[in-house]
């Protein structure tokens, strides 16, 4: 990756970290889960409002953590709103593969382009948990588990 693209990705991550989208509790949520990364102290709570047609009508998150954790949660909420639960789960699988440095062929090109900013995390295994925490919490919320596991 050339340095100008790396700089752009860093700017996107910093922007999402400093100005997270869909941040705060969601009063109308009908699914919620918390996630905690004990290795670094990151905490996230994901709220989802899923309608009768299994579409994510609204989504938000709150919590605190490193720039990667907050940026990832912000990107995730931006991408989930309006998608079906099945699409959300497919997106999560592709994202997990992407940040682990594995094949993310299940991601559609637009989704991959958006999430590519987080791909560099794969070079830092300890940061993968930071990037995936909100995604695991989203999955736990959809599964009504209440708490996410990143193991």
Domain ranges (residues) in the chain = 3-142
Q: What is the CA radius of gyration of the chain?
A: 14
Handedness of CA 139, 141, 142, 148 (dihedral sign): positive
Report the pLDDT value the prediction gives residue 135, as an integer from 0 to 100: 96
The predicted pLDDT at position 147 comes to 79
126: three-class secondary structure by DSSP: helix
CATH of 3-142, one of 3.30.565.10, 3.40.50.2300, 3.90.1010.10, 3.40.50.300: 3.90.1010.10
Share of the chain above pLDDT 90, in %: 77
Euclidean distance between CA atoms 52 and 45, whole angstroms: 23
Comparing 9 with 67, which gets the higher pLDDT? 67
pTM for the model:
0.92
């Amino acid at each position: 990756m050339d340095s100008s693209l790396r700089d752009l990705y860093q700017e996107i991550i910093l922007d999402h970290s400093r100005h997270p989208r869909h941040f705060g509790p969601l009063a109308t949520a009908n699914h919620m889960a918390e996630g905690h990364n004990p290795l670094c102290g990151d905490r996230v709570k994901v709220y989802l409002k899923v309608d009768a047609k299994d579409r994510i009508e609204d989504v938000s998150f709150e919590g605190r953590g490193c720039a990667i954790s907050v940026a990832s949660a912000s990107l995730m909420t931006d991408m989930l709103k309006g998608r079906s639960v099945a699409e959300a789960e497919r997106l999560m699988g592709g994202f997990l593969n992407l940040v682990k440095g594995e094949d993310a062929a299940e991601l559609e090109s637009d989704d991959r382009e958006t999430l590519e900013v987080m791909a560099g995390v794969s070079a830092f295994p300890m940061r993968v948990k930071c990037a995936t925490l909100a995604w695991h919490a989203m999955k736990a919320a959809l599964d009504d588990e209440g708490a996410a596991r990143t193991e």
